[in-house]
Amino acid sequence: MEQVSNDSGWRGSPEGWLDAAYESLLESGVDSVKILPLAKKLNLSRTSFYWFFKDREELLAALIAKWRDKNTGSLIKQSEAYAESLAEAMLNVFDCWLNKDLFDSRFEFAVRSWALQSSDILAEVRKADQIRLEALKRMFMRFGHSEFTADVRARTTYLVQIGYISMQTQEDIAVRMKRIPEYIAIYTGQIPEQRELDRFFFRHGYKPD
């Protein structure tokens, strides 16, 4: 991490500016991601920003890269993770929906809201959607589904979750966990084995009643 200071004082780091931009985006939307308000938030001078970023556009591009690397990258990784069955493979993907360190739903909502104001960001979102759908499609095909069936199941899986995010659905964790076996059965056509569910629940710190 690059950190800069000199005789005039502390200038922060690129990660610090990016984190502040991320928080502002989530809290108030892209219009709030401006250099002077971020400087005030960080208690830094406005000129400190230019040690790390050429301009606001470069900072916004870094935000999109952060979103792309985390959310799209994690979904692809989870779809390719080892699994004994398709049901377990889908549970691996479901890790994204329950672990914000893998997939940041608030970030996803903020970027999709941003896309309503920017054709460039809309293109980024559409590109990400296609990449994610292709990853899920490959997962289904890996377990024997035809290309067409894999595509439909991938779309069903993904579009439901994007609906959750877009509607900002709030769901008690116990309720959601009880619904997951049915979701898995609907998406994959397989009822998950209890041992698969046990592993899934364990890694999310959930103990069924």
> Using CA atoms, how far apart are residues 152 and 138, in angstroms rounded to an integer?
12
Q: Could you tell me if residue 59 is inside a domain?
A: no
Q: Could you tell me if residue 58 is inside a domain?
A: no
Same domain for 117 and 143: yes
Residue range 159-168, pLDDT digits in tens: 999 999 999 8
Give the pLDDT score at 179: 95
Q: How many domains does the chain have?
A: 2
Same domain for 74 and 13: no
> Using CA atoms, how far apart are residues 125 and 151, in angstroms rounded to an integer?
19
Q: With contact defined as beta carbons under 8 Å apart, do 50 and 4 qualify?
A: no
> Using CA atoms, how far apart are residues 37 and 125, in angstroms rounded to an integer?
26
Same domain for 94 and 152: yes
Range of the domain at 114: 64-203
> Residue 209: is its pLDDT beyond 80?
no
Q: Could you tell me if residue 208 is inside a domain?
A: no
- For the entire predicted model, the pTM comes to 0.90
Same domain for 147 and 94: yes
Q: With contact defined as beta carbons under 8 Å apart, do 95 and 102 qualify?
A: yes
Residue range 132-158, pLDDT digits in tens: 999 999 999 999 999 999 999 999 999
Q: Could you tell me if residue 191 is inside a domain?
A: yes
Same domain for 147 and 96: yes
Instruction: Please tell me the total number of residues recorded for the chain in this structure.
Output: 209
Q: Could you tell me if residue 209 is inside a domain?
A: no
Same domain for 182 and 87: yes
Q: Which of 26-30, 33-37, 169-173, 192-196 has the lowest mean pLDDT?
A: 169-173
Give the pLDDT score at 10: 62
> Using CA atoms, how far apart are residues 170 and 163, in angstroms rounded to an integer?
12
pLDDT above 70 coverage of the chain, percent = 95
**91 CB-near residues (< 8 Å, 6+ apart):** 83, 180, 184, 192, 196, 197, 199, 200
Q: Could you tell me if residue 36 is inside a domain?
A: yes
Q: Could you tell me if residue 114 is inside a domain?
A: yes
Domain harbouring 49, CATH code: 1.10.10
Residue range 61-109, pLDDT digits in tens: 999 999 999 999 999 999 999 999 999 999 999 999 999 999 999 999 9
Average pLDDT over the chain, rounded to whole? 93
CA gyration radius, the chain: 20
> Residue 2: is its pLDDT beyond 50?
no
> Residue 6: is its pLDDT beyond 80?
no
Same domain for 158 and 114: yes
Same domain for 103 and 39: no
Same domain for 71 and 3: no
> Using CA atoms, how far apart are residues 34 and 153, in angstroms rounded to an integer?
41
Same domain for 22 and 3: yes
> Residue 9: is its pLDDT beyond 60?
no
Same domain for 42 and 70: no
Same domain for 121 and 36: no
Q: Could you tell me if residue 140 is inside a domain?
A: yes
Backbone angles phi, psi at 16, to 5 degrees: -65, -45
Residue range 22-39, pLDDT digits in tens: 999 999 999 999 999 999
Please choose, from the candidates 6, 1, 35, the residue with its C-alpha nearest in 3D space to the C-alpha of residue 20: 35
